[in-house]
Amino acid sequence: MDYTAHERIRLMPIGELIGLSEWLTITQKMISEFGAVTQDPDPMHLDLEWAARNGPFGGTIAYGFLTLSLLTTLFNSAVGDPPSRDRHSKGAYVNYGLGRIRFVAPVPASARIRGRFALAERREDELGRLIMTVAATIEIEGEERPALVGEWLFAWIPPHA
């Protein structure tokens, strides 16, 4: 049987690597737009001159929540199965929540990140939904410490009959 990447995740052994995403460059434009949308004017993220002179990281860095918000993009890259009408007709993964999330290291503007995802747990809840916990790590190219580590929970909802 030919399974899609998302169907394989429902069947794979606990602890197995789901995938590793392509590298994604975090641009200053992305950081600035995120700050505008979230109405957070922190100069550590937005003011290049101030951040270089006064900030603790020698330049602007990505918002931690920007890094967190890229989990979906990185996950889709890792599994090679972007959202589509066809994929959703077979059931849908929806965000169910987050477990322990830690922002380990700052992501400088212009850095490249990628996601590493492994299946940590799978269970059925009282509503019959398949709940999966994914161990998520966002790595920074050339850095020993990751930007983010944590648990990301999905609920798999079967298609309507």
pLDDT of residue 78: 94
- The residue among 78, 70, 69, 147 whose CA lies nearest residue 106 is 147
How many helices and strands (H and E) does the chain possess? 7, 6
**CA–CA dist 100, 111 (Å, integer):** 24
pLDDT (tens digit, 0 to 9) for every residue of the chain, 161 residues total?
345 666 777 788 999 999 999 999 999 999 999 999 999 999 999 999 999 999 999 999 999 999 999 999 999 999 987 665 555 556 778 899 999 999 999 999 999 999 999 999 999 888 878 899 999 999 999 999 999 999 999 888 877 64
pLDDT of residue 88: 52
Boundaries of domain holding 57: 5-157
pLDDT of residue 128: 78
pLDDT of residue 83: 66
Biggest CA-to-CA distance, the chain: 60
Number of domains in the chain: 1
42 contacts 133 by C-beta, under 8 angstroms: no
pLDDT of residue 157: 81
Other CB atoms within a 10 A radius of the CB of residue 52 amount to 12
pLDDT of residue 84: 58
Residue corresponding to tokens 């380990």: 104
CA 127-129-130 angle, to 5 degrees, is 145
60 contacts 143 by C-beta, under 8 angstroms: no
CATH number, domain with residue 9: 3.10.129.10
Whole-structure pTM value: 0.89
Could you tell me which residues come within 8 angstroms of residue 4 by beta carbon, excluding any fewer than 6 positions away? 81, 87, 90
107 contacts 65 by C-beta, under 8 angstroms: no
61 contacts 27 by C-beta, under 8 angstroms: no
